[in-house]
Amino acid sequence: MTQKTRPKTDLKNTAPIAIQAWIAWSIVTFFYAFQYVLRVFPSIMIDDIRLKYALDAQQFGDFSGAYYLGYAIMHIPVGLLLDHKSPRWIVALSMGLCSIGILPLFLSDSWELAVAGRFLLGAGSSTAILGVFKIIRLNFPTNKTGTMLGFSVMVGLIGAIYGGGPVQDLVSILGWQQVLYGFTIFGFILAFITLFFIPKRTKPRESTATGSIAKDLRIAFKTPYVLSTAFLAALMVGPNEGFADVWGTPFFTHVYNFPKEIASYLPSLIFFGMGFGAPFLAYIGDRTNAHKKIVKFSALIMGVLFVFLLKGNVSLTGSKISLFVIGIFCAYQVLVMHINGMRVEAKYSGIVTAITNMIIMSFGYVFHHFIGRTVNDSWAGEVIDNVRIYPMEAYTNGLMIIPAGLFLAFIGFYGEEIHARLKKQRRS
């Protein structure tokens, strides 16, 4: 008679979580929320920044979009550094980089330095979400990874929400340059806290299963539909990285004539909706195994709602509901990461998701540039207090780029499905 062997217990899943792990998670999660505030503050200070540097709308769009260039360019290098070096040094240096990126706005009159600072701010911010992933993977049981990530995303989106109305109140009380000065000091303090409280990494792991980064990159780029899905998903990023970040506040101020306090708060409802949408869409996708269909129809629903907002005279209540629903479907990015990650072996999923996120985030610059360019082309020559004043139609025309990208993505995902079906039929 043979004795049955008991399945081995995953000691990592049963071991208690050290207090240092909770502290490390709290710090990087707070950084994730703080970088959201730094990401959206130009929407609050748009008139002040334009006045200081005598900017037109296109120049301001390029300034805002420089964040995403820095974010996208540094995404993969930061991921590799986090795999090879102690996270505390990478996270701390990135926090310091964010603070340095703010300095030119209140210490210099150089427009070039302001754009460079915005680029550095994006580069430093790229570490936030990657640092959250790394800290959770190194310090928490595998069966709690999803829960901890969910909490981190929720806290981060709270930062995005409070980057609107409350920051506007601070600007009204203290002035925009004093607020930025406070952000800078806080960033440096957070960097020093990180160095002291995030524990050293005792068992460094290699960045990939094979030890060959070049091979992993080749697999990521050659896997069918990885790049096409990433670029189609990037076309859908306008509501989040174009409208909610910057252009939503001036749109509601000049087109809907809402008071600035309300106009600065409304775009944050997109982030609020994302907080609900991330777990909701992921749950529906897992239950139905229809991740691709959810992403595709997210593009259609957001496109229709944006046309509704841009072309219709929507009430304040209708605007709030529309923005919240748009925010729910902005969480499609979580599903896109899942779709592309499942197209390769598990050992290659990290580099694939990094490339996917890099492509998606880089389109933030594309949207900001073309929105600003279209708005600026509609200028009729009006100037008040050395600031260009744009007609209502300028903002509407510029923001129509967002639903155009959404509808194009919807059609593109249909084309991808048809191509995959035909390819499968040819093989059979």
> 224 pLDDT exceeds 90?
no
Type of residue found at 253: T
pLDDT band at 92 (very low <50, low <70, confident <90, very high): very high
Q: Which residue has the higher pLDDT, 87 or 359?
A: 359
What pLDDT is stored for residue 424 in this prediction? 75
Q: 383 pairs with which residues across the strands?
A: 388
pLDDT for residue 379 is more than 70:
yes
- pLDDT at residue number 164: 64
Six-digit token pair at 223? 């896997």
Half-sphere exposure of 369 (CA within 13 A, CB side): 10
- Number of neighbours of residue 353 by Cβ within 10 angstroms: 21
Tokens representing residue 91 in the block = 């996270």
> Average pLDDT of 93-106?
93
Q: Which residue's entry shows tokens 């200081």?
A: 52
Residues 153-172 have pLDDT tens digits of 778 877 767 666 678 888 88
Mean predicted confidence (pLDDT) in 294-309: 94
Q: Residue range 234-248: average pLDDT? A: 88
Give the residue, 357 or 269, on which the prediction is more confident: 269
For residue 8, name the pLDDT band (cuts at 50, 70, 90).
very low
What are the tokens at 102? 């703010």
Residue 118 is predicted with a pLDDT of 93
pLDDT band for position 19 (cuts 50, 70, 90): confident
Q: How far apart are CA 417 and CA 419, in angstroms?
A: 5
* pLDDT, position 134: 76
SS3 assignment, position 114: helix
Phi-psi region of 205 (alpha: psi -120 to 50; beta: other; left: phi over 0): beta
The per-residue pLDDT for 149 is: 66
Nearest CA-CA partner of 417 in 225, 260, 255, 188: 225
For the ranges 171-175, 327-331, 372-376, the maximum mean pLDDT occurs at: 327-331
Contact 163, 39 (CB under 8 A): yes
* 3-class DSSP assignment, residue 80: helix
First-to-last C-alpha distance (Å) of the chain: 48
pLDDT band, residue 304 (cuts 50/70/90): very high
pLDDT category, 144, cuts 50, 70, 90? low
User: What are the structure tokens assigned to 59, written together?
Assistant: 């120049």
Q: What is the mean pLDDT of residues 291-308?
A: 94
Q: Which fold is adopted by the domain 210-422?
A: Growth Hormone; Chain: A; (1.20.1250)
| Domain boundaries along the sequence of the chain | 18-201, 210-422
Q: What is the CA radius of gyration of the chain?
A: 22
CB-based contact 188:99 (threshold 8 Å): yes
The contacts of residue 415 (CB under 8 Å, 6+ apart) are none
Q: For helices 268-288 and 332-341, what crossing angle results, to 10°? A: 40
Judge contact between 390 and 374, C-beta under 8 A: no
Amino acid at 369: H
Token readout for 115 is 């754009």
Q: How far is CA 177 from CA 52, 162, 182, 250, in A?
A: 11, 18, 9, 20
Compute the mean pLDDT over every residue in the chain, rounded to the nearest whole number: 81
Q: What is the pLDDT of residue 183?
A: 92
44 and 264 in contact (C-beta within 8 Å)?
yes
Give the Cα-Cα-Cα angle 200, 201, 202 (nearest 5 degrees).
110
Residue in 128, 134, 89, 106 with CA at minimum distance from that of residue 49: 106
| Higher per-residue confidence, 310 vs 142 | 310
The structure tokens 């999803």 sit at 146
Distance between CA atoms of residues 55 and 60, nearest Å: 6
**Mean pLDDT value of segment 258-264:** 86
pLDDT of residue 406: 96
Q: What is the pLDDT of residues 25-76, one digit of tens each?
A: 899 999 988 988 888 788 778 888 888 888 887 788 788 888 888 988 887 7
**Alpha carbons 374 and 393: distance in angstroms, whole number:** 10
For residue 286, give the DSSP letter.
H
pLDDT reading at 394 higher than 60: yes
Sequence-separated (6 or more) residues with CB below 8 Å from residue 187: 34, 38, 95, 96, 98, 99, 102
Burial of 417 (0-12, 13-18, 19+ CB in 10 A): middle
CATH 3.30.565.10, domain 18-201, yes or no: no
Residue 203 burial by Cβ neighbours in a 10 Å radius (0-12, 13-18, 19+): exposed
Query: What letter does residue 198 receive in the DSSP assignment?
Result: S
Q: Give the model's pLDDT for residue 150.
A: 64
Helix, strand, coil shares, percent, the chain, to 5 = 80, 0, 20
Question: Which residue is listed with tokens 């841009």?
Answer: 310
Per-residue pLDDT, 412? 94
